[in-house]
Amino acid sequence: MFTGSGIVGIHSEQREPVRSQFRVIQFLYFRIDSTLGGLHLPTSLIATIRKEIRRLFLDDAKVKNFITCFKDKQFLVFFFKQIRRNETGRYEDDFPYISPCGRERNFIRCDDRPIVFTHLLSEQSTGRHVLSYCGGGDKLTVMFEPEKLVMFPENGRVYHPAPAKCDAVGLVKSSLAFELSPCFEYSSESKTGHPTHFNWDGNRYTLTNELIQLII
């Protein structure tokens, strides 16, 4: 079963030159570099998914664990809400995603998908089920669409629709995928080996598997 672990590298740069400075976010420093000879040097951060929890680290942090990661929820919500495809013309091959922050641009790469769904929640006001992603709680959610889940039997990875600006696909963390796995129904007539139905909340959904073309 896929554990949801992987490494996401982030390079940050300023749109305008600024003096070297540090600003503290919880236990870590986010560095904004100065210019050298008119050329701005981008800084680095690393976002690492460890034990199925998305965490942000400084690139040069010697120890990467819960103590040394960004834990400010407001910052994380803002960071992940801003993620989109990198169409800036810079670092597009190495960093396919970007998260703008004012004058700063955070260039991102990841092993699989930048969006990782961590919890299945129920909205108190509507009773609808939503998927929460990247540790944002009820601040980062998408509506749960059972019929659009995709499961790859060869590695156990489960995917679900994500915000369109993030390629419209997100990865379901392994512990949540494990909880959902008994709901998948397989058919001997399936040519691909993917599940064909999903039983949820008293309903039997026919899986569209429409996300497969976006993943492969």
pLDDT of 30-68, one tens digit each? Answer: 233 323 333 333 444 444 333 334 555 555 556 555 555
| Confidence band of 70 (pLDDT split at 50, 70, 90) | low
Closest CA to 52 of 128, 132, 167: 132
Read off the pLDDT of residues 95-108 as tens digits, 9 standing for 90 and up. Answer: 888 888 888 887 77
pLDDT tens-digit readout, 186-207 = 988 877 889 999 999 999 999 9
More confidently predicted of 66 and 156: 156
What single-letter amino acid sits at 205? Y
19-41: b or e for each residue (b if 16 or more CB lie within 10 Å)?
eeeeeeeeebebbbbeeeeeebe
pTM comes to 0.74
Is 53 within 8 Å of 119 (Cβ atoms)?
no
Question: Between the CA atoms of 74, 125, 159 and 133, what dihedral angle is there, to the nearest 10 degrees?
Answer: 10
Q: What is the pLDDT of residue 55?
A: 58
